[in-house]
Structure 1
Amino acid sequence: MKKVLITGANKGVGFETARQLLLQGYYVYLGSRTLSNGLDAIEKLKAEGLNNAEAIELDVTDAASVLAARAIIGEKTQSLDALINNAGINGGMPQSALEADIDQYAKVFDTNLYGVIRVTQAFIDLLRNAPEPRIVNVSSSGCSLTLHSDPTWKYYDHKAAVYTSSKAAMNMYTINLAYELRDTPFKVNAVCPGFVATDFNGHRGTGTVQEGGARIAKYVMIDNDGPTGQFFSEEYNPETGVTPW
Structure 2
Amino acid sequence: MDILTAKRIAVVTGANKGIGLEIVRQLAFNGVMVILTARNEKRGAEAVEKLIKSGVSDVVFHQLDVADPASVASLSEFIKTKFERVDILVNNAGVASLEIDSEVLDSLDGDDTEVNNDDYSAIHQEFDSVVLKELGSNDQQSGGSRFLKVLAAGKETYEKAKECLDINFYGTKRVTEALIPLLQLSNQPRIVNVSSIHGQLQYIPNESIQKQFDDVNDPKEEIKLDEILQKFLNDMQENKLEENGWPTFGSAYKVSKAAMNTYTRILAKRYPSMCINSVHPGYVKTDITWNSGILTVEEGASYPVILALLPDGSPSGLFYDKMEVISF
Fold equivalence (TM over 0.5): yes
Structure 1 stretches lacking a partner, 5+ long: 150-156, 235-239
Deviation at 1:37, TM superposition (A): 0.8
| Equivalent residue in structure 2 for 1:198, among 286, 294, 303 | 286
The alignment partner of 2:304 has SS state of helix
State how far apart, in whole Å, the 1-side matches of 2:58 and 2:89 are. 16
Q: Which residue of 2 aligns with 1:85?
A: 91
Q: Which residue of 2 aligns with 1:214?
A: 302
Instruction: List structure 1 runs of 4+ shifted beyond 2 angstroms.
Output: 99-105, 146-149
| Residue deviations 1:20-67 (CA, integer Å, cap 9, x gap) | 011100000001102111110011111121120011100000000110
The question of 1:133 aligning with 2:216 is answered no
Alpha carbons 1:6, 1:84 under 8 Å: kept: yes
Instruction: Name the aligned partner's letter for residue 179 of structure 1.
Output: K
Instruction: Name the aligned partner's letter for residue 122 of structure 1.
Output: A
Q: Which residue of 1 aligns with 2:42?
A: 36
Larger Rg: 2
Q: Which residue of 2 aligns with 1:7?
A: 13
State how far apart, in whole Å, the 2-side matches of 1:160 and 1:92 are. 7
How many residue pairs align between the two structures? 229
Aligned residue runs from structure 1 range 48-127, under 5 A: 48-93=54-99, 100-127=156-183
Alignment RMSD, CA only?
A: 2.0
State how far apart, in whole Å, the 2-side matches of 1:214 and 1:100 are. 31
Q: Percent identity?
A: 36
The alignment partner of 1:30 has SS state of strand
Instruction: Name the aligned partner's letter for residue 300 of structure 2.
Output: G
State how far apart, in whole Å, the 2-side matches of 1:206 and 1:244 are. 23
Q: Which residue of 1 aligns with 2:319?
A: 231
Alpha carbons 2:67, 2:171 under 8 Å: kept: yes
State how far apart, in whole Å, the 1-side matches of 2:86 and 2:305 are. 15
Instruction: Name the aligned partner's letter for residue 76 of structure 1.
Output: K
Structure 2 stretches lacking a partner, 5+ long: 1-6, 101-123, 125-154, 206-246
Deviation at 1:80, TM superposition (A): 0.7
Deviation at 1:71, TM superposition (A): 1.1
Instruction: Name the aligned partner's letter for residue 289 of structure 2.
Output: N
Q: Which residue of 2 aligns with 1:169?
A: 259
State how far apart, in whole Å, the 1-side matches of 2:204 and 2:68 are. 32
Deviation at 1:176, TM superposition (A): 0.5
Deviation at 1:93, TM superposition (A): 4.5
Q: TM-score, normalised by structure 2?
A: 0.67
Indicate the larger mover: 101-110 or 76-85: 101-110
Deviation at 1:104, TM superposition (A): 2.8
Instruction: Name the aligned partner's letter for residue 61 of structure 1.
Output: A
Q: Which residue of 2 aligns with 1:152?
A: none
The question of 1:181 aligning with 2:244 is answered no
| Residue deviations 1:224-243 (CA, integer Å, cap 9, x gap) | 12110000012xxxxx5111
The alignment partner of 2:31 has SS state of coil
Q: TM-score, normalised by structure 1?
A: 0.88
Alpha carbons 2:37, 2:62 under 8 Å: kept: yes
State how far apart, in whole Å, the 2-side matches of 1:47 and 1:136 are. 27
